[in-house]
Every structure is written in structure tokens, then in C-alpha cells.
Structure 1
Amino acid sequence: MQLQDVVWESLREPGFEHLVLKKSGENIFADSLLVYPDSSGKLQRIKYSITMDDSYSVQNYHVHSLTDPAKKLGTSDLIESLFVDIYPSPFTNTLPIQWMRSQFLQVYEMEVTWVDALQFKTKTATQRYTELKVGTEQSIYRFESIDGKTKEVHFSADLTVDKDCLVLEYPGYFRRRT
């Protein structure tokens, strides 16, 4: 993997994410800036970084507000899971999809640490990814947020990703700009 420099725009509200992704040795590093309004409508600037191994399992992560420096979350908040799903980031969908590919799986259900970067809260969430279509330049994966006990689907979206599993289109929510 070479250095990736990616921007996503929000399709629901004013907002964007700018991500720089690079590999060094056995690790992959994501460094990102989110600019989104909080619940009161005030724009927030939030920076996050994730260090992953070469299968995209999270080694550590840090989320902090540039608007309110007292707001921080990090690896100590990782709730016994391989992955972190940072809202409102389309990038963190890449982690389980890349891991699935490395394990040759077509369906994978997992517990993740879900981070609300606008409210600075974490919780455990159950998610399922299903490979729908694999191509050389683009693939489609179904993302589902599910109830861990009843297996009821609360949310579903078919994500179009590029050859590096970076989201190109998250219907109704995000679109990649570069």
C-alpha cells in the first residue's frame, strides 16, 4: 500500500473527513480530521489516529477534540475488540472489510468498540459485514448494525469500496471526493 490521501463529504449534513493512511514496517497508520456539527449545530474539529497491524486489527487509537481539548478518548476505552468504529467516519468500515479479506471470509459478525466522536462516548456494538460483489477495482459489502442477542438488524447499508477497501460510496451518508 502506498500513501493514501482521502476526503469524504457528508451527504446528510455539512461535514467532511480528511484521512491520511500510510504503512510503515508491519503497521498501518491512519491520521484523520473530522469536521462536523455537534447536536447544537456548532462545528466541531475532531482528530483521530489509529495504529493497526497488517490485517487491520487495531493496536491503539486516539480521538481528541481540537475545538475542546479536554475531550479525549483512546485505547484504554477499547472494549475487548479487534476493531473501532468511529462515528461519523466512513474510514473505519475499512478495518473489518480488510480483515475479512485477509481471512478469506465472505461474512463476518463481530463486536466492535463504537465511538461517537461528536459526543465522546463509547459502547460495544455488534456488526456484520457480508461480501456481495468483488471486483478488481470496486467491491460491494453489506454493513449491518445488529442486536447482539436477538440478531435483529437495526441498520443496513451496501458500501462500495475501492481495491484498498476504502469507501467510495456509503449511500445516503458519505461520498468519496478524492
Structure 2
Amino acid sequence: MEWNARWVPWTEEGIENLHLLQNDKGIFIDSMMVGSHQGQQFRVSYQIQCNQEWKVQTCAIRLLGAHPQEVKLQSDKQGHWVNVDNIPIPELEGCIDVDISVTPFTNTLPIRRLALRPGQSADLLVVYIALPAVEIRPMRQRYTCLEVSTNGGLYRYESLLSGFSAELHVDTQGLVLDYPELWRRSWDES
């Protein structure tokens, strides 16, 4: 199965164009974004590969422009991470999902992996990648399923450190339709 989706920010300039392929070998995400964060323009591409259970295996991010940067992370799907040189990253121990700050897509990873029912919630430790600064750190988050219907669902996302929370409307594939005040889906095709 294949999906294509496009998101635009609520207030700032930008766009994300994402392609997702799911087959018997896993789940493959390829996305390109241009945007602005706190007045700083950025262009970034990222690729994420997951197994059939939506556990992240690899994450590659390329920040393009005058000062290009690249990040490549790999997981054993059990919470152990290494960098491109196969050197362990102990501070990311226990993280299963990744959360890239400038995209609504990475919310799909725990939503699909956890498959929560209405009223259920789960606390997570994720690899948080802040862009365009390219800061990587573990972050505690909580997802709560508020409702599920034939049209999709509604989930509450919470950052347990900052106290930020948002209610995310998702489609039947768990892809964000609306991330209030930040992102909204402008186009999709399956």
C-alpha cells in the first residue's frame, strides 16, 4: 500500500510532501520539507524505515542549505540506538519512536505502533530531534486515544516535560489531519 500526503503550517510559510510505502518488508517513509521556524528558514529531507509493527529501524535526516548537516540513527527496535559509525548512543536507551520537531508525521509512529483503544494512554520515551538546530535528546511523551471511528481517530499528545498538549485528528491510517495551531493536511492520495 502507498500513501502520499501534504501538510502546510497554520501560520508560518512552508510545506511537507510525504510518501509512505508499506509492504511485506516493512514501512518506508520519505519526506521533503521547506519551512520556517522562529524566523529561520530551513529545507530538510528525512527517511524513516520501520518494521511491520511500526517500530523504527532507521532514521536519516538531511538539513540542506548553506550549512548542510546529516543525522543517521539506527535502532534494534528494542530501544538501543547507534549512529552512522555503529557507535552506541546510551542517552537514547529505551527510546522506540522518533519525534522530528518540524513534522506532524512522526506522531503517526506511536499512534500506529500502540494501537490504543478509546480511554487508553501510554507514556513513552522518544528520540526527539529538534530542527533546524539539529539537537537530539530523549523526551518523555504521553499519547491518549480519545476516540476511534470509521473515519479515523482523535488522540491527545502530551510532552511530559514542558506540559504542552494537543488534540490530534488522524485519518484511518493514523496520519495527522489537523495539529491545532501548527499543521493541517492540505492534500492526500492513496
Determine if the TM-score, normalized by the shorter chain, exceeds 0.5.
yes
Aligned partner of residue 177 in structure 1, secondary structure: strand
What are the ranges of 5 or more consecutive residues in structure 2 without an aligned counterpart? Answer: 74-81, 84-88
Q: Distance in 1 between matches of 2:19 and 2:66?
A: 23
Structure 2 counterpart of 1:173, which letter?
L
Distance, in Å, in 1 between the alignment partners of 2:17 and 2:167 is 22
Report what 2:150 is aligned to: 136
Structure 2 CA distance, aligned partners of 1:68 and 1:157? 34
- Give the whole-Å Cα distance in 1 for the aligned partners of 2:67 and 2:58: 19
- 1:1-178 map, 5 Å: 2-39=1-38, 41-68=39-66, 70-75=68-73, 76=82, 79-80=92-93, 81-101=95-115, 106-147=120-161, 154-178=163-187
Identity %: 33
How many residues are treated as equivalent by the alignment? 170
Bigger CA drift: 106-115 or 17-26? 17-26
* Residue aligned with 2:164, SS: strand
Q: Separation in 1 of the partners of 2:22 and 2:178?
A: 24
Aligned equivalents of 2:10, 2:68: Cα separation in 1:
29
Deviation at 1:15, TM superposition (A): 1.3
Farther-moved stretch of structure 1 (70-79 vs 26-35)? 70-79
Task: State the shift of 1:43 in Å.
Answer: 2.5
* CA distance, structure 2, for counterparts of residue 88 and residue 24 of structure 1: 26
For the 8 Å contact 1:85–1:113, the answer to whether it is kept is yes
Gaps of 5+ in 1: 148-152
Q: Does the aligned pair in 1 maintain the 2:125–2:140 contact within 8 Å?
A: yes
Deviations 1:59-91 (A, max 9, x none): 010001121464111213572311000011000
Does structure 2 retain, via aligned residues, the 8 Å contact 1:55–1:99? yes
Distance (whole Å) between structure 2 residues aligned to residue 90 and residue 51 of structure 1: 17
Q: What is the RMSD computed on CA atoms of the aligned residues?
A: 1.8
- 1:19–1:31 Cα contact (<8 Å) kept: yes
Secondary structure, aligned partner of 2:111:
helix
Aligned to 1:150: none
| Aligned structure 1 segments of 4 or more residues deviating by more than 4 angstroms | none
